[in-house]
Amino acid sequence: MFFMRFAIDAIFLDDEFRIVKLVKDLAPGKLVGAVKGAKQVIELVSGSTPESFEPGGTLDISPV
């Protein structure tokens, strides 16, 4: 989050697109330590992560 000017939501996923960790409103200049099992992260505008997203849930990511 260095050099960012705004907060984000970060969704950490494993290799099967399961949510390992969800960090909402991650402020500029703040860090998230290593997330065990995470293989990728999706960054969204702060506050835009659906309320139904929670650790253990799975995302269905399909090409358009």
**Domain range annotation of the chain:** 8-45
What confidence score (pLDDT) does residue 8 get?
Answer: 96
What confidence score (pLDDT) does residue 42 get?
Answer: 96
Residue 32's CB is within 10 A of a number of other CB atoms, namely 13
How many angstroms separate the Cα of 43 from the Cα of each of 1, 23, 48, 56?
11, 10, 10, 18
- pLDDT 10s per residue in the chain (64 long)? 778 899 999 999 999 999 999 999 999 999 999 999 999 999 999 999 999 999 999 998 888 7
